[in-house]
Structure 1
Amino acid sequence: MAIMAEEDERRSTTAKTFPVRPKLKPTSNNSTPTAESKYWRSFKTPKDLQLPALVASITSISFAPTPPHDFALTHSATVTIFSSQTLEPKATISSAFSDTATSASFRSDSRLLAAGDLSGSVHVFDVKSRNPLRRLRGHSRPVRLVRYPRVDKLHLFSGGDDAVVKYWDVTTETQLFNLLGHKDYVRCGDASPVSDDMFISGSYDHTVRVWDVRASTSGSVMEISHGKPVEDVIYLPSGGIVATAGGNTVKIWDLIGGGRLLHTMESHNKTVTSLCVGKIGREGGEEAQQYRILTVSLDGYMKVFDYAKYKITHSMRFPNPLLSVGFSPDCSTRVIGTSNGTLYVGRRKVKEESAGEQALVDFAGLAVADDVPKRRALRPSYFRYFHRGQSEKPSETDYLIMRPKKVKLAEHDKLLKKFRHKEALVAALNRKNPENVVAVMEELVARKKLLRCVSNLDFEELELLLLFLQRYSTMPRYASFLMGLASKVVDMRTEDIRSSNELRGHIRNLKRDLEEEMRVQQSLQEIEGIISPLLRIAARR
C-alpha cells in the first residue's frame, strides 16, 4: 500500500520543464523578429568597406533622385559625394565654401547640386566637373535650408537664421520672392512631391509654414504650430500629409484637412534631429508602396515609424548622437550621420538570379542546355537513392521542423526529476549559485515540499541553508522570498538552533544584516523626503 501511495503521489505531481529557472529573474521582452524587422536589419555595412573619418558633424545627407543614386554629405566646409555602388568617396567640393557647408540638395536630373553655408550664401555646382556655377547672395545670416523643387530645374528655395525664406531664379542669380512670416531661425524645409510651386519650412519659432509661390504676396498659405523648435519637416509621398520633428516628438499633420494633427509620436528620449521617408521592398515589387518614416535623435536611436498604423516597427541603437539620415530611392542604402563625423552606411543585399539558371534560358525562354550532361535517374539499387535530399537547403516557402536540442540537466535538476527533493535542495546549496538555489526553492514551493525538506535537513545541511539565507536575504532581488523562508526556518528548527553555537552565530549574523539594511532604507527615505520638495519647487519654476 505504501508503494502504491508513493506512486500515486508521483503521478499527481505535475512535472515542469527542466531545467528549472528562477521566476524572480527579470525576463527580457525579446519576441520573435517580424518580417519588417528582418528587412531593416538586412542593411549592413560591408566588411571590406573602410569609411573615412570626417571629424566634423555631418549636418545633412541627400540622395540623387536618378540612378545610380549617389549621395552627398555636408561636413565642415566640404560637400563629399559618395558612390552608391562602392560606398566610397567619389568627389569632394570645398574650394567654394568660406564657412561650414549645410543642406545639400540634388536637382531632379542629378546633374546639379546646391548647398548653403554659414556665411549666408547658396552655392550651385556641376556634379560631374565639381565646378561652381552660381553663388546666390541675399541672406544676412547663415543658410540652413536649400532645396530644389520636385521637377523644376530653374528655381530653388532657401532659408536661414535671418528668419527669411527666399525663392531663387538660379539662371539669373536673382531672388524672385522674399517670403516673410517666421519670427526665428528657419532650420528645415521640403519641396512638395506633387507641385513645383509649393514647399514647407520649419523654424525655431515652433511653427511650420506652407508656401505657394503663385500666391507669394499673401504670405504663407497655412501655418502649423508644432509646440517646440522645429528641427526637421518632410512631405510624405501623397503630398497631403507632412511630418514634423521638434523636441523629442514627431507629429503627423493633414494639410488637406486644414492642418489637422493626426498623431504624435514620443518614442525618443532626446531631440529628434532628422527625418526621411523609407520604402519597404524594391521598385516594382509587391511591397513597393509601403512607406515608413525614419527618425534619428541625439539619444543615438534610429526608429522606423509606420504612419499608416501609427506604430514603431523597428528600432536600432548607435553609440553616437545622430544628426542626419538618408534613404536611397531604390531601397538599397541607408546612411546615418553623427555629431563626431562617424558615418553609418547600411547596404541591403539583393538576391539575384543564379548564373546557371540564366544560362539555361535563351531570349525566347526556351531551354538551350542540350550540351549539359544529364544525370542518371536515381533507382533504389543506387546508394545515392537513400541519401537523396540530405544536403538540400530549404527554400523560403518550406516549413522547417527543427530537431529538438538536447537539454543538459544539472545535478539538482536530475534529482528533482527523480522526486528526491531534499537532495536537490542540498545539491543546489553546495553549488552556491543563488539563482539556481532560489529556482529549486520555488519549484519545491510549487510541489508543496519545501517545508518538509527544511524539517528533514541534518545539522550540516541546516547550517548550509542558514549561511545562504544570511548572505542573500538582504538582496532586493530575493528579499521578498528569502525573508519569509528565513522566518519559517527559525520557527521550525528553533530547538536545533538553540542547541548549537554555530547555528546561533548564523542567526545573529542574519539579524545584524537585516538591522543594517533597515537603517540604510530608513536613511534613503529621509533623503527622499528632503529632495522631493526641492524637486517640486524646481519643476514649478
Structure 2
Amino acid sequence: MADLLVEQPQEITISKTFPTKPKLKPKPKAPSKTSESKYWSSFKSHQISNLISSIPSIDFSPISPHNFAAANSASLTLFSSNTFSPTSTISSFSDVVTSCSFRCDGSLIAASDLSGLIRVFDVKTRTPLRRLRSHARPVRFVKYPSLDKLHLVSGGDDSVVKYWDVAGESVVLDLYGHRDYVRCGDCSPIDGDMFVTGSYDHTVKLWDVRVDNKESVIEVNHGNPVEDVIFLPSGGMVATAGGNSVKIWDLIGGGKMVYSMESHNKTVTSICVGKVGKESGEEALQYRIFSVALDGYMKVFDYAKMKVTHSMRFPAPLMSIGSSLDCMTRAIGSSNGIIFAGRRKAKEDVGESKARNFWALGSVEEPQRRALRPTYFRYFHRSQGEKPNEGDHLIMRQKKVKLAEHDKLLKKFRHKEALVSVLGGKNTENVVAVMEELVARRKLLKCVVNLDEEELGLLLGFLHKHSTMPRHSGLLTGLTRKVLEMRTEDIRASDALKGHVRNLKRSVEEEIRIQHSLQEIQGVISPLLRIAGRR
C-alpha cells in the first residue's frame, strides 16, 4: 500500500461510482430467508393470556375445525382454532389437571388430575360420562388410542401403566416395569394394541396388550428423565424428550437410536409431530418434530435430513405444544399461563372473507364506463396500475443517490478540498474511502503537499487516532511515513504540529509494546498446545 502512494507517470484511474465506499470494509452477508422460515412467518401469532397457571397439556381435536383443549389449574378449557376464543370450560375437577386427550372421533375427551382420577366428558355438552379411579398416586398422562374408541392408556406417579375399559370403568391390564414416575406416553398410529410410555427412570417401554406375560416388548434408555414420548407417523419409530435432547429410536430395528438432537439449552418438556408445507397442489407436506423447552425456544426438526430447520424464541419457559392435523394451527403452553397460538391464513380464507364482505354490503350495480378511444387521455394511461405477473421482467427506475459534500468535490476533481472536507466530518470510513479514491487517482500525495498548517493538523490528528487500527493500518501507516518525510520543515516550525507528532509517536510505541506482549504470550502457549495435541 505504501508503494501505491508514490506518484508515478501512469494512467490515472478515476472511480465512476459515487458515493465512495471503503474497500477495506468487509460487506456483511444478508441472512438468507429459507422456505421454512417463510412458512413460519405466515402464521399470525396470538396470545391467550387469561389463564392463571402453567399449561402442562394441549391436545387438538382430530375432527375439523380442529379445536384444541388446554389443561390449566383445576380446569380444562376448549378453544376455537379459528378465533382462539374459549368455547367452553370444564371446571369440575378436584385437583390440578395434568393431561387431556381427544378420542379419534372428537366427540369425547379424557382428562387426568393430581388426585389420581381420570374423567371422560362429552365435548359438546361437557357432561361427565365416566370416572376411572385406580391409580394410587397422581396421574400424569392419559391417552386415547388412535384406532380405538373403547380403551384408554394412563400412567402416573405410582409407576404403573394402566389399560382401561372405558365403558365398564374397569382396568383391563396393570403393566409393571417402570421403577419411577411414569410421566408420558403415546399410542401407535397403525396398531391400536401397542403404545409406549416414558418414565423418570430414564427408560421408554413399548407395550403390546396382546402379550400374555404383561412385560414390555422393547425397552430403550434415553439417558435422562423422560419428559415426553411420541410415535412418528410411520409407526416404526418413536421420539423421546428428556434433559436437553430429543432422540429418535428405531423400534423395528430393536430399539436402536437413530439420532440425538441437542440444540436446546434447558430441559425439553414436550414434543409433537406436525406437517410443514403449503396447500395441496403447490408443495408436498412434510413431517417435522416440534420441541419446546424451559429455555423458551421452539425447535423445528426435520428428521428426514436430521437437522434443525427453524427456531423461535418465546418470552417464557414452555411446557407443552400441539399442532392440528390440517397443519394450519399450532398452540404452545407456557409456565406463566400464556398460550402462544398461531394460525396460518390460507388462500381460501381470503376468498371467503371477500365474499362475506361483498354479500354484507349487498349487490351493487357496476358503473358503466365509456368506450376507450384514442382521442381520450385515459387511452394513453391504460394498464398503468396493473400489477406485474410472476414471470414479468421489471425495469425499475434508479433511485437518485444523495451525495455527500466530499463526493460532490471529487466529481469536480477538487481533490484537496474533498480531503479536507471529509477530515472535518470525523467519519473514519468516509476518510479512508476518500484516501483510497485519491490513491487510485494518484493525487493523495499532491494533496498532502498543498495542505496548510491547520489542515495538516487535521490529517495528523486523524493518523494519530486511526493509524494503529488493524483494519486501516496498511494504508495509514504508509501515509504517515510519507507525511512526515514531505512536511518535516513545516512540522518543526509549528508547536501544534509537534504535539500531534508526539501523540502519534506515543500511540505507535504503545502498539509495539502490545505486540511484543502478545508474542511473549504466544511463546508460552504454543509449547503447551503442541503437548496437548500429542495427547
TM range (shorter): 0.7 to 0.9
- Name the counterpart of 2:527: none
Shift of 1:155: 0.9
Which amino acid in 1 is paired with 2:12? E
1:305 and 2:331 correspond: no
- Name the counterpart of 1:64: 61
1:203 and 2:199 correspond: yes
1: CA distance, partners of 2:419 / 2:186? 67
Equivalent of 1:192 in 188, 200, 204: 188
| Residues paired across the two proteins, number | 502
Contact 2:12 2:441 in 1 (8 A): no
Shift of 1:441: 5.3
Q: 1:145 to 1:440 in 2, by over 3 A?
A: farther
Shift of 1:502: 2.5
1:491 and 2:485 correspond: no
1:337 and 2:333 correspond: yes
**Aligned ranges 1:239-388 → 2 under 5 Å:** 239-281=235-277, 284-352=280-348, 354=351, 378=372, 380-388=374-382
Deviation sequence 1:437-486 (CA, Å, 0-9, x none): 45555666788876776666543333324434555678xxxx31355666
1:126 and 2:116 correspond: no
Shift of 1:492: 3.2
2: CA distance, partners of 1:75 / 1:384? 63
1: CA distance, partners of 2:116 / 2:517? 61
1:42 and 2:42 correspond: yes
Q: Secondary structure at the match of 1:294?
A: strand
Which amino acid in 1 is paired with 2:70? L
Deviation sequence 1:410-439 (CA, Å, 0-9, x none): 334445566666544433332223444455
Shift of 1:44: 0.6
Contact 2:278 2:285 in 1 (8 A): no
1:30 and 2:28 correspond: no
Which amino acid in 2 is paired with 1:426? V
Stretches of structure 2 lacking an aligned partner (at least 5 in a row): 1-7, 357-364, 525-535
Shift of 1:132: 2.6
Q: 1:183 to 1:339 in 2, by over 3 A?
A: same
Shift of 1:80: 1.0
Deviation sequence 1:184-210 (CA, Å, 0-9, x none): 332222211111111122223333222
1:433 and 2:427 correspond: yes
Contact 1:96 1:132 in 2 (8 A): no
Which amino acid in 1 is paired with 2:345? K
2: CA distance, partners of 1:385 / 1:374? 16
- Name the counterpart of 2:222: 226
**Aligned ranges 1:71-82 → 2 under 5 Å:** 71-82=68-79
**Aligned ranges 1:169-184 → 2 under 5 Å:** 169-184=165-180
Deviation sequence 1:33-67 (CA, Å, 0-9, x none): 23332221110136xxx733323122121110001
Contact 1:177 1:216 in 2 (8 A): no
- Name the counterpart of 1:461: 455
The TM-score, its normalising length taken from structure 2, stands at 0.80
2: CA distance, partners of 1:183 / 1:440? 74
1:407 and 2:401 correspond: yes
1: CA distance, partners of 2:509 / 2:315? 43
**Aligned ranges 1:102-121 → 2 under 5 Å:** 102-121=98-117
Q: Secondary structure at the match of 2:499?
A: helix
Which amino acid in 2 is paired with 1:201? T
Contact 2:77 2:86 in 1 (8 A): yes
Which amino acid in 1 is paired with 2:495? N
Q: Secondary structure at the match of 1:293?
A: strand
Q: Secondary structure at the match of 1:172?
A: coil
Shift of 1:112: 1.4
Contact 1:283 1:330 in 2 (8 A): no
1:20 and 2:21 correspond: yes
1:9 and 2:5 correspond: no
1: CA distance, partners of 2:367 / 2:440? 67
Q: Secondary structure at the match of 1:341?
A: coil
Identity %: 61
1:145 and 2:141 correspond: yes
Which amino acid in 1 is paired with 2:93? A
- Name the counterpart of 1:96: 93
1:480 and 2:509 correspond: no
Q: Which has the higher contact order (CA 8 A, sep 6+)?
A: 2
2: CA distance, partners of 1:457 / 1:188? 79
2: CA distance, partners of 1:410 / 1:107? 69
Contact 1:19 1:410 in 2 (8 A): no
Structure number with bigger Rg: 2
Shift of 1:108: 0.9
Contact 1:61 1:73 in 2 (8 A): yes
2: CA distance, partners of 1:66 / 1:245? 27
Deviation sequence 1:271-307 (CA, Å, 0-9, x none): 3222222223467545354222222222322232222
Deviation sequence 1:515-540 (CA, Å, 0-9, x none): 88978x989x99xx9xxxxxxxxxxx
Contact 2:177 2:215 in 1 (8 A): yes
2: CA distance, partners of 1:114 / 1:343? 21
Q: Secondary structure at the match of 1:230?
A: coil
Contact 1:19 1:409 in 2 (8 A): no
